[in-house]
Each structure stands twice: as C-alpha cells, then as structure tokens.
Structure 1
Amino acid sequence: MNELFALLGQDASLIGYLLIDMGVAILLLGGMRYTMGMIGKVNTNEELAIKDNFAYGISMAGGVAAMGIALSGTITGELAGSYLIELIGMLCYGFAGLVMIKAGRYIHDKMALPEFNKHEQILNRNISVGIVDAASVIATAIVVRAALIWVDGLNIKTFIAIFCAWIVSQLMLVIITRIFEWQYLRHNANSFQSTLELGQVALAIRYAGYLVSTSMSVTAASYFIVYDAQNLLDGIASWAIISLILMVVLTVLTMFAKCIVLWGIDCREEIENQENIGIATIEFAISFAIALLLMALMA
C-alpha cells in the first residue's frame, strides 16, 4: 500500500488517467444493460427484479462481463500522451467494442444457432440458452480485446484491423459450433440445438466451454502476428490460419486432458443423457485451463 501511495505521489497524472478510464468503463458497463433493454424491447427492471428471470440475468451478466473484457484492451494510461487522447481512445474503442459484441450476438443467433429464437427463449426463462448467450458474447469480447491490444494508433486502419479480427472470431465460433453439433448428432436422435431449446443445462455448460476456449486460442494466434498497417490483409490472413491450427491443437490437448482428469467416467453419458452439471462444469474448467496454458505458452 505504501508503494502505491509513493507511486501516486511521484506521478499524480496516474490519478487522472485512472479517473478517466474507470469513468468511461462504468458508463459503458451501464450502457450495456440499457442497450440490451432497448434493442430487445424489454423492461430490464421487470425481467430482473419482478419476474426474477434467471436466464435473462445470466445473459445480461455475460454482456456486462464481455464489455469489461473488451474495455480492458482499450486502456493505455500515460502511453496515450494526454488526458484528451485517452478519453477519445476509451470512448471510440469502447463504443466499437460495444457494437461488435452486439453484432457478434446477432451473428451467433443467425449463423451458429439459427434453429430457434434465442431472445424469445431467454424471455421464456430458458437457462441453457441464457448460458450459451453469455458464453458467446464473452468469447467475442476476448477476441475483441486481443485485437485492441494488437493494433497501434487511432485511425481508420486500426478499426479495419479490429473489424477483420472480429470476423475471424465469428468464423471460428461458427466452425466450432458445427463440429460440436456433428459430434452430438452422432450419438443422439435429437439435434444439439433442439436439445438446448428443451433446456439441457449440462450441455449448455459444455458448449460454453468450447466457445470460450476457442476464443482464447484465437487470442493466442495474435501473439505470432506483428501489426503492420501497410500489410493488414496479410496479417489478418495469417491470424486466421494460425487460429485454425491452434484450434485443432487446443481440441486435441483438451480431449487428452479430459481423459486423464475424468478417467473412468463416461462423460458423454453423464452430460448428454443424465444431464450431470458437475461433470459438464469440470469439462468447462478443463477446456478453459488448457486454453489459458496455451495462451501463456504462445505469449
């Protein structure tokens, strides 16, 4: 604590940057709630406090967490050079992050899980769909954060780079969803999406782990690419290719780790047929842990 006070005493400008960053962050976090209500034409007070809609609360929690994750990539502090530049950067990148998170939610609804109306299911208290929705926006935000850290400067090319990275993230999430669906359909009569619609929470948790860990592998791929505004398309193409490679590596390592950690347990039977939330949560944790280790190794 004494070291903190000493640092603040030596450089009082840190307090100014802290106030700007946290002020904008809190404003945008609050904006996430009201944006959800406005776009979905929902009274958030009624859903959260009167109807006690847990699914809506989980979905909103995912949105707030996603906004916080994305904003953590916008903070530069004294590197910005002035309070005004830091404020403009936070507002511009923060707003861009908010738009991409919302757009990512729409893409996930229409391309990854098009067989049901996610918003309608959440309003009908479908907790499994609420979990999937939260995981999808968090996964998008993880990649948006990586892109914000990857780019340099504040101009049109940086926004193009961030948008391209966002496109890569959505492509990866759709691919992993199709793979997940194919694996599920091999052993079950019902489709993955129809099972989610029926409220299978354990399956939703397992799928959420796939989404979040995949986004982390896409983030790890960014460590290999140096941002170059003059060769932006080459950089994005390289990012996409490395993301696919790391996604395969992540899948193999995760499968191996699950065999070791859950030795002697038929995970498919436990999750898909017995709806064992505990086993599904362990699978989520294993996927997350392997992805985190992969990120640390690549960094």
Structure 2
Amino acid sequence: MKTDLMGLSITPQALLYIGLDVAIALVLLIVMRWVFGLWTRVDGTDQLSGKDNFAFGISVASSLMALSIVLWSAAEKASSGDYLAQSLQMLVYGVVGILLIKVGRFAHDRLVLDELDKREQILNRNVSIALVDGASAIAVAIMLRSILLWTQGFDIHSGIALISGFIVALAVMLLITRLMERRFAQDNQNDSMQDVLVGGQVALAIQHGGLLLGTAFSVSAASQLLEYHPTAYVSNLLSWLVLAMLFTLLTIALAWIAKRLVLPGINMVREVDHQHNVGLASIEMALTIGMALLLLGLVS
C-alpha cells in the first residue's frame, strides 16, 4: 500500500524506518545526557533543578544541540536504498558523533582552555566558561557536519577522512583561540584571557563564542571547495588545513570591516574587555557569524 502526501509516495515500510530513525535519535540523545553525567560525576538532575545551576544547564544544552546537528547530518548523509542500512548508518554516525564531540571537548579543555579546570568552573556556576564550552561543542558539531557531507560512501576511507577533518577543525580552533588570547593580552596589559573568563566575564565569553562559531562556519565554507579523494589521506588533511585557515582569517577580516561600518566610533576593546558590554559583544558575535555564513553561501 502506498500513500501520496504532498506529491510524495510513502510506503508503510518507509514510515516504519522513519520511526526507527527517530527512535535511534531519541536514544542517542538520552545516551549523550548519560555520558555528560559520567563526565561530571555529579547528579545532573540535582544540578539542573535542585541547585538551579545555569552553567551546568548551558553545558548540557550545548551537548544535546551538538549531537542534534550531527544526527541531522547523519540523516541527510544516509543514502542507501535499503531502509535498514540507512538506520544502521544513522546509528553508527550518531555513536561516532558522540565520541568525537566528547573527544573535541576533552581536547578543548586540555589544549585550548589549558589554564583552567572547566568541570570545576561549571559546577561552581561560572556562566562565562559554560558559554565558551557550549560554543566549542556546537562549533565542533558544525564542522563535523561539513566533513560528513563532504565524504562519500560509508567505509574505512570515509572514516579516515572524517578523523582527518576533525583533527584540522581542532587545530584551527586552537590557533584562533591563541590569536585572540594574544590580542587580548596586548590590549589589556598582558592579562590572561582565560583568567578573565574564570572571573566571570560574560561579554568576553560571548565574543569568543562568536569567534568559535564563525570559525566553524568558515571551515564549512572551505569544505565546499575541496574535492574528496578517498585514498589521498595526506592531501585531504593539508587541503583542509590550508583552506580552513584561509577562510577563517578571511571571516575575521570581513568581521573587522563590518564592525567598523556597523559600529562606527565605538571602541570595542573598552566596551567589551573593560566595561563588559554584553550587548556590543552580542553584536560582534552576530557580525562574525554573519560574515562566515556569507562566505558559506557564496561558495555553496
């Protein structure tokens, strides 16, 4: 039996496997929440509703959002005529996505935000750290999406390409963070950006989070110009790195120009770094992400 809906032919078998995919997605979201609880080693329910820990909630929400982005990509990526094979791909990509998101967060903690204990800060209700943590998780998921859609097939070669792109994504995030830290130190008498974030500077967290998300969309734009070669592992890695950095630096330059045109006469260093102006930091975040999305649209 076949049903026509909005011009689309839907069979009972198709509906069955769509339901299976939705069930897989829901189970994976539960698993992500469980994995987050294992990482923090605390009672998540108590943190969220008993202690009303907003920072913990932001961190959990970003994990769920990141996984949802990966599942969206997995559902779009699955292209087998066999519905059961599609569901299997959805499950595999979802599990791999959970692992890579956690690895990305671990790497971000140990390599990028290496001067602080993120877990301790979040449990101590530090919203600034939670915002940066959330932005990094979602940024990793956006970059994973671009890599998933870039690869072809469902084999060992696509897996290696996924890992290669993931390494490049982390490298770009690390480099961009170090550049921002250097800029911050130059403008603030050698103060440490990470120390200021520990102090609860929300405006700086929003500014930095916008840069991380802009970087993610810049890497996604770079993927539009890369041709996938299944066995060219080194070439794929170097091409990703060069184009990702090029598009990220171009995004930063365009965002700098946009800020000068949209916010003329405003000293962003004074407003964000010194006066903690959350409103202007939000505008800067929007402009950075906006320029990255513009580049993504132009090359798509």
Q: TM-score range by the shorter chain?
A: over 0.9
SS of 1:115 mapped into structure 2 = coil
**Matching residue of 1:174:** 174
Q: Deviations over 1:15-65 (max 9, x none)?
A: 234223222112112221111001221211011000000000011111111
**What letter is aligned with 1:200?**
Q
> Structure 1 CA distance, aligned partners of 2:77 and 2:205?
38
> Structure 2 CA distance, aligned partners of 1:212 and 1:77?
22
> Structure 2 CA distance, aligned partners of 1:134 and 1:171?
18
What percentage of residue pairs aligned between the two structures are identical? 37
Q: Which range moves more in the overlay, 36-45 or 22-31?
A: 22-31
Give the Å deviation of 1:71. Answer: 1.3
* Uncovered stretches (5+) of structure 1, i.e. residues with no partner: none
- Runs (4 or more) in structure 1 with deviation over 3 Å come to 6-14
CA, structure 1 residues 124+21, in 2 after alignment: closer, same or farther (shift >3 Å)? same
Give the Å deviation of 1:11. Answer: 4.9
**Matching residue of 2:267:** 266
* Uncovered stretches (5+) of structure 2, i.e. residues with no partner: none
Do the aligned residues in 2 keep the contact of 1:8 with 1:15 (CA within 8 Å)? no
**Matching residue of 2:165:** 165
Trace 1:222-241 onto structure 2 (pairs within 5 A): 222-241=223-242
SS of 1:52 mapped into structure 2 = coil
**Matching residue of 2:45:** 45
> Structure 1 CA distance, aligned partners of 2:14 and 2:151?
23
**Matching residue of 2:277:** 276
Give the Å deviation of 1:88. Answer: 1.1
**Matching residue of 2:253:** 252
Do the aligned residues in 1 keep the contact of 2:131 with 2:205 (CA within 8 Å)? yes
Q: Deviations over 1:225-277 (max 9, x none)?
A: 12121223212211111111111111110100011111121111111111111
Trace 1:171-210 onto structure 2 (pairs within 5 A): 171-189=171-189, 190-210=191-211
**Matching residue of 2:289:** 288
Do the aligned residues in 1 keep the contact of 2:78 with 2:90 (CA within 8 Å)? no
- The answer to whether 1:221 aligns with 2:214 is no
**Matching residue of 2:135:** 135
> Structure 2 CA distance, aligned partners of 1:167 and 1:148?
14
Q: Deviations over 1:100-156 (max 9, x none)?
A: 000000101111111110010000000000000000111111111111111112212
SS of 2:73 mapped into structure 1 = coil
TM-score, normalised with respect to structure 2: 0.95
**Matching residue of 2:74:** 74
Question: Cα RMSD between the aligned structures?
Answer: 1.6
CA, structure 1 residues 28+131, in 2 after alignment: closer, same or farther (shift >3 Å)? same
> Structure 1 CA distance, aligned partners of 2:77 and 2:174?
35
CA, structure 1 residues 76+191, in 2 after alignment: closer, same or farther (shift >3 Å)? closer
> Structure 2 CA distance, aligned partners of 1:9 and 1:95?
31
Give the Å deviation of 1:10. Answer: 4.9
Give the Å deviation of 1:298. Answer: 1.2
- The answer to whether 1:242 aligns with 2:260 is no
**What letter is aligned with 2:47?**
E
Give the Å deviation of 1:70. Answer: 1.2
Do the aligned residues in 2 keep the contact of 1:16 with 1:83 (CA within 8 Å)? no
Q: Which range moves more in the overlay, 230-239 or 189-198?
A: 230-239
**What letter is aligned with 1:59?**
S
> Structure 1 CA distance, aligned partners of 2:150 and 2:78?
18
Q: Which range moves more in the overlay, 29-38 or 15-24?
A: 15-24
Q: Which range moves more in the overlay, 167-176 or 152-161?
A: 152-161
> Structure 2 CA distance, aligned partners of 1:25 and 1:210?
29
SS of 2:252 mapped into structure 1 = helix
- The answer to whether 1:100 aligns with 2:100 is yes
Q: Deviations over 1:72-100 (max 9, x none)?
A: 11114883111221111011111111100
TM-score, normalised with respect to structure 1: 0.95
CA, structure 1 residues 214+78, in 2 after alignment: closer, same or farther (shift >3 Å)? closer
Do the aligned residues in 2 keep the contact of 1:128 with 1:201 (CA within 8 Å)? yes
